[in-house]
Chain A
Amino acid sequence: MEAIIGEVVAKYNYWIYVVLMMIGFYAMIGKRNLVKKLIGMNIFQTSIILFFVSTGVKKGGGIPIVDKYKALASNIDAATIVNPLPHVLMLTAIVVGVSVTGVALAVLQRIYREYGTLEEDEILEKLQR
C-alpha cells in the first residue's frame, strides 16, 4: 500500500494530468451542451499542457534566464535551471488551442443562429423534423 502511495505521490504530475484529462474527456463525451463540450476540450488541452510543462521541472532549478556575460565567462550548469523547451513548445500549443477555441466559438455562433439552441438533443430533434 505504501509503495503505491509513494508511487502516486512521486509522480503526482502524471496523476493531475490524467485526472484533468478524464474530466475534459467526460465533458466532451458526456455533456449534451455544445459549449460545455468545448470547455471540456479546453480542459483536455490544458491537462496536456500542464503535463508538458511539468516535464521541464528540475529539483532546485532556477528560471532559465541567464545573464549573457556570466554565461560567456563561465559555463552554466544545466542542472541548475529548468528546461525551457517544454515551456516554449507549450506556448505554441496554447496558441493552437486559442485558435481552435476561436474557430469553435465562431462555429457555435453559427449553430446558435441556425437552430436557436446549443443543446445537442434539441438540435438533433430539430434536424429530425
Chain B
Amino acid sequence: MNATNLHLFVLVVPLLAALAINLLGRRSRQWIAPLVLGSLAFSVFGSVIIMARVVEYGTLRYTVGNWQPPYGIELVVDPLSALMMVLIAVVALLASFSSLKSVEQELPGREHFFFTLYMILIVGLFGLVLTGDAFNLYVLLEITSITTYGLIAMGKGRAALSSFNYIIMGSIAACFYLLGIGYIYILTGTLNMADIARILPTLNAPVATATAIAFVLVGLWIKMAFFPLHSWLPNAYSQAPTGAGTLIAPLMTKVTVYLMVRVIITMYTPALVFTHEWIARGVVWAASLAIICGSVLALGQKDLRRMLTYIIIAEVGYMVGGIFLANANGLTGSILHIVNDAFMTLCLFLVVAAIIYRQGSVSLVSLRGIFRRMPITMAAFTLGAFAMIGVPPTCGFFSKWYLILGGIDGGHWEFVVALIVSSLINAVLFFRIIELGYFGSLPDGDNQEHAIDERREAPWWMLSPLVLTAVILIVVGLSTGPLVNNVIRLMIPVGF
C-alpha cells in the first residue's frame, strides 16, 4: 500500500465495508460488527498517522486520478482537516460500539440497512473534510444528508415526518449552496477552493461576490441549524433511532461548522467575508440570540434527548459567533469547540443510548433515582454535563475561554453575556437532571427508608465507549495547549 494514499484509504475502507455489510449482512448478522468496527478502527489508525504526518510535514495535497488542479479534483489535508478526520474517526468508532447494541434491540432484522447507511454517512463526512473542491463538497454534503434522512426515517413514531421536514429544509440548503457555487463559478471559472481564493480578490465585483457568499453561508446555516433556521433539528435528532443519534448529533452539525470555517478561510479570504463590519456584528448578534434561545428552549423540554437537541442549537451559536468575531481568539475558540462539542455531545448521547437501552425512555420523569440504577452511566453523564456547563478541567471550559476572550477582544459584549448566561442555564438544565437522578422519588419525613433500586447497568458494549468518552473529555481539556499551538494556530490566517 502506497503511503501517500493513506488518507484516501481512511475513506475507502469504510466505503468497501458499507458495500460488504449490505451484501453479507443480509445473510448473517455476524458479519456486521466485525466489518463496522474493523474498518473504523482502521480509519482511526490511519487518520492518526496522517495527523502526525501533517503536523510534521505540513499540508498534503492529493489529486484524484493524477489530474492536476484546478481541473482535477483535489483532496487537501491541512492541519484542520487532519484534526477533523481524527475526530470523525474516533467519534464514529466510539459511537458504533453503542449503535451496534441499540440497533440490535430497536431495528431487529434491518441492521444491515442501518449500517450500510451509517458507514456511507461516515464516508461522506470523511469526504467533506478532505475535499478541496467546492462542487465536490456539494455532492458529499448531499451524500451525508441523504444517508442522514434515511437513518432518521428509520426511527419510531413521528420520525418519518421529521425526516421529511429535514429533507425539505436540507434540500433548500443544498440548493442555496449550489447557487452560491454557481455564482462563484461564473465569477472565477473554477471550482477548486485554492484557485477560487486566488482569483476572487483580484476581481472587482463586490456585489456578485457578496451574493455568492450570502447564498453559500445561508445554505450552510440551514444545514447546521443556526438559530432562526433551526426548526428541523430537534424533531429530526430526537426521533432518530438511538444508534443513529449517537453518530449524527455529535458529527453532522459540527462538520457543517467546519465547512463554514473552510469556506471562510480557504475558499474566500476572511478579508472578503468580513468586509462590512455590520454584517459580522449582525451575525454575532444572531449567534448570541441563538445561544440564549437554544438554552431557554432547552429549559422547556421534558425529555432528555430533546433537551440535548436544543443545546446543540445553542452550541452551534457558540461556534458561528466565534467565527464571526473575526479575531484569532474567536476563531481558535470555534475550532476548538468543534472538537470539544463533538465529544461532549457524543458523551451525552451515549448516555441517552445506554438509558434507552435499559429502560426505553429518557423522559425526565423516568430518570428519577437513575443514579442508583446506573451509577457508571450517570457518572459519565455528570462529567459530560460538567463539560457542557464549562467546568474546568473538562474540555468545554477551554473553548468557552477562548470564545469569551474573543468576545472581549472584539468588543462583542453581547456575545460574552450570552455565553455566560448559557453556561448558567446549562448548569440549571443538567443539575435538574442530576438532582432527579440523585434524589429519586422523595418520600416525606426525615429518616425515610432509602429504597435500593436494582442495579441495571447498560451492557459493556455501551458502557466502555461511554467511559472512554468521559475520560477523553478531560484528556482533551488538559491537552488544549498543544492542540491549539500545534494544530489550530496553523489555521489562523495571517493578519487575523
Binding site for B on A (CB under 8 A): 25, 28, 34, 37-38, 41, 44-45, 48, 51-52, 55, 86, 89, 92-93, 96, 99-100, 103-104, 106-108, 110-111, 114, 123, 127
| Inter-chain contacts of B146 with A (CB < 8 A) | 96, 99-100, 103
Chain B contacts with A in 166-183, Cβ cutoff 8 A: 167-168, 171-172, 174-175, 178-179, 182
| Inter-chain contacts of A110 with B (CB < 8 A) | 153, 160
Task: Count chain B CB atoms within 10 A of each CB in A55, A106, A107 and give the residue with the most.
Answer: A107
Are A28 and B182 in contact, with the CB atoms below 8 A?
Answer: no
Are A51 and B182 in contact, with the CB atoms below 8 A?
Answer: yes
Are B185 and A99 in contact, with the CB atoms below 8 A?
Answer: no
Are B164 and A44 in contact, with the CB atoms below 8 A?
Answer: no
> Which among A34, A92, A107 is the interface contact of B149 at CB below 8 angstroms?
A107
| Inter-chain contacts of B158 with A (CB < 8 A) | 127
State in angstroms the CA–CA spacing of A110 and B172 once bound together: 22
The chain A residue sitting closest to B162, CB to CB, is A107
Q: How far is the CB of B154 from chain A (nearest CB, A)?
A: 9
Are B164 and A34 in contact, with the CB atoms below 8 A?
Answer: yes
Are A96 and B172 in contact, with the CB atoms below 8 A?
Answer: no
With A51-B179, A127-B158: A92-B185 Cβ-Cβ less than 8 Å: no
Asked if B492 is at the interface of the complex by the 8 Å CB criterion, the answer is no
| Inter-chain contacts of B145 with A (CB < 8 A) | 100
Are B142 and A100 in contact, with the CB atoms below 8 A?
Answer: yes
Are A123 and B161 in contact, with the CB atoms below 8 A?
Answer: yes
Interchain Cβ contacts under 8 Å between A and B, 8 examples: A48-B175, A48-B178, A52-B178, A89-B135, A89-B191, A100-B167, A106-B153, A107-B153
Are A104 and B175 in contact, with the CB atoms below 8 A?
Answer: no
With A110-B160, A127-B158: A92-B171 Cβ-Cβ less than 8 Å: no
The chain B residue sitting closest to A86, CB to CB, is B185
Q: How far is the CB of B364 from chain A (nearest CB, A)?
A: 21
Asked if B163 is at the interface of the complex by the 8 Å CB criterion, the answer is yes
Chain B contacts with A in 134-166, Cβ cutoff 8 A: 135, 138-139, 142, 145-146, 149-150, 153, 158, 160-161, 163-164
Are B178 and A44 in contact, with the CB atoms below 8 A?
Answer: no
Binding site for A on B (CB under 8 A): 135, 138-139, 142, 145-146, 149-150, 153, 158, 160-161, 163-164, 167-168, 171-172, 174-175, 178-179, 182, 185-186, 191
State in angstroms the CA–CA spacing of A114 and B163 once bound together: 14
The 7 closest A-B pairs by CB, nearest first: A110-B160, A96-B142, A111-B160, A107-B153, A104-B167, A107-B164, A41-B171
Q: How far is the CB of A26 from chain B (nearest CB, A)?
A: 12
Given A51-B179, A127-B161: 10 more A-B contacts, CB < 8 Å: A44-B172, A44-B175, A48-B175, A89-B135, A96-B139, A96-B142, A99-B142, A100-B171, A104-B167, A110-B153
| Inter-chain contacts of B172 with A (CB < 8 A) | 25, 28, 41, 44
> Which among B139, B167, B178, B186 is the interface contact of A107 at CB below 8 angstroms?
B167
Task: Count chain B CB atoms within 10 A of each CB in A28, A99, A127 and give the residue with the most.
Answer: A99
| Inter-chain contacts of B186 with A (CB < 8 A) | 55
State in angstroms the CA–CA spacing of A45 and B167 once bound together: 13
The chain A residue sitting closest to B147, CB to CB, is A103
With A110-B160, A111-B161, A123-B161: A103-B182 Cβ-Cβ less than 8 Å: no
| Inter-chain contacts of A99 with B (CB < 8 A) | 142, 146
State in angstroms the CA–CA spacing of A112 and B203 once bound together: 51
Are A93 and B178 in contact, with the CB atoms below 8 A?
Answer: yes
Q: How far is the CB of A51 from chain B (nearest CB, A)?
A: 6
| Inter-chain contacts of A111 with B (CB < 8 A) | 160-161, 164
Q: How far is the CB of A97 from chain B (nearest CB, A)?
A: 8
State in angstroms the CA–CA spacing of A67 and B466 once bound together: 62
State in angstroms the CA–CA spacing of A32 and B167 once bound together: 15
Are B182 and A55 in contact, with the CB atoms below 8 A?
Answer: yes
